[in-house]
Amino acid sequence: MQTKTAKRSSNLIPEIARYLAAGEVVVLPTDTVYALVADAFNPDAVAKLKQLKQITHLQPMTVLTHQEKAAQIVEVSRSAAQMMSHFPYPVTMIMPAKATLPESITNGFKNVFVVCPDRFMYDLIAYVPNPMVCAAAAVSSDVKVKTFDMAMQFFDGKVPLIVDGGKSSYGRSGTLVDFSLDVPTIMTFGPVSLDDLRPLVPGIVIASHLMK
């Protein structure tokens, strides 16, 4: 497969949308890490993404969405809506999935991960008709793709499009917050801290294992 490359630009969004509509997996830059992205409602595309990611164990997948579209696919609590009102933001939200999400995304779990890490992804979400599924572009749990050069090293010839966004601003996954619980709870820390999140989501707490 010949891989096309292009610089990140809002003008590129319609072309990315065409690749997704055709059932392709593309590599896109985000402010956290580079991501493999596909149409969540296309089972063949999701299967391709899992193969590229080398996912061998069952886990819920990550969905790209924002406040205006989230209610189509996940249950949005008041606190989750508060968080989403500040999107794009470098957090990963755990949220209850709706039946509209296919089994290939939930993998039998009741919750999924939800992200919208930067403005480029926010605008892409707004443009495409279907939800998108994504996974960190990584070759192992320890090696995540944080630059365009790394994306080319690992995925050139494997996907039809790699978008050049330079170096990811954070270079790590978003702070993980569980919004399926009665009280929003930080499960793992990422680019933003408890102090960052408290003004945005009043009442948020940190998991007991982070207090040790």
Return the CATH number at 185.
3.90.870.10
Q: How high is the pLDDT of residue 91? A: 98
Contacts of 169 (CB under 8 A, 6+ apart): 31, 32, 118
- What's the one-letter identity of residue 175? T
Q: Domain limits at 107?
A: 4-210
User: SS3 for 111-165, per residue?
Assistant: EEEEEECCHHHHHHHHHCCCCEEEEECECCCCCECCEHHHHHHHHCCCCCEEEEC
Q: How high is the pLDDT of residue 139? A: 72
Helix (H), strand (E) at residue 62: strand 62-64
Into how many domains does the chain fold? 1
Q: How high is the pLDDT of residue 210? A: 83
Q: How high is the pLDDT of residue 124? A: 98
Whole-model pTM: value is 0.94
What are the average pLDDT values for consecutive 10-residue runs of the chain, which has 212 residues?
A: 96 98 98 96 95 84 94 96 97 96 94 97 96 88 88 96 96 95 96 96 92 72
Q: How high is the pLDDT of residue 212? A: 65
Q: How high is the pLDDT of residue 138? A: 81
- Count the Cβ atoms, other than its own, within 10 Å of residue 79: 20
Q: How high is the pLDDT of residue 160? A: 98
Nearest to 73 by CA among 37, 113, 120, 20: 113
Instruction: Give me 89's structure tokens.
Output: 């933001």
Q: How high is the pLDDT of residue 208? A: 87
Instruction: Give me 28's structure tokens.
Output: 């896109």
Q: How high is the pLDDT of residue 10? A: 96
